[in-house]
Amino acid sequence: MATFPTLLKTGAIAQYPVIRVVSLATQAVQFLDGSQQTYQLSGLGLRRWELSLDLLDETEVSAVVAFAEQIGTGTFSFTNPVTGETAPKCVIAGQQVSTSLLGELHGAATLGIEEVK
């Protein structure tokens, strides 16, 4: 399985701020007496990270594009930049990566990474 690469020359996986979200799947059951019970469907929530990388050079922007093209709709493992924990099965959220290069050291990239079951 592929692994999310270290895209930055500094060796960091991401730049701050890193947006992190945990999604929990729930189901609500309404009983005949009108009462309702809601419960969680799975034990752990699925995680999502939004990476915004700024002040990138050409090599770093190229690395982001190359990774997105290589992985496509496939899965990869991703190391949480905050906790260091590895999520074994992730995809690029919405299959979208946004990059720009306005000049030397003025590149940017934005991508979402989400954990899947």
The residue behind tokens 């190229």 is 62
Q: How confident is the model at residue 91 (pLDDT cuts 50, 70, 90)?
A: very high
Please report the pLDDT score of residue 90 as a whole number.
93
Percentage above 70 pLDDT, the chain: 97
Average pLDDT of the chain, as a whole number: 86
Question: What digits encode the pLDDT tens for the residues 32-75?
Answer: 999 999 887 766 678 899 988 888 889 899 988 998 888 888 89
Specify the pLDDT at position 43. 65
Selection from 11-15, 40-44, 107-111 with the highest mean pLDDT: 107-111
Answer for the pair 68, 53: CB distance below 8 angstroms, yes or no. no
CA distance 55 to 67: 18
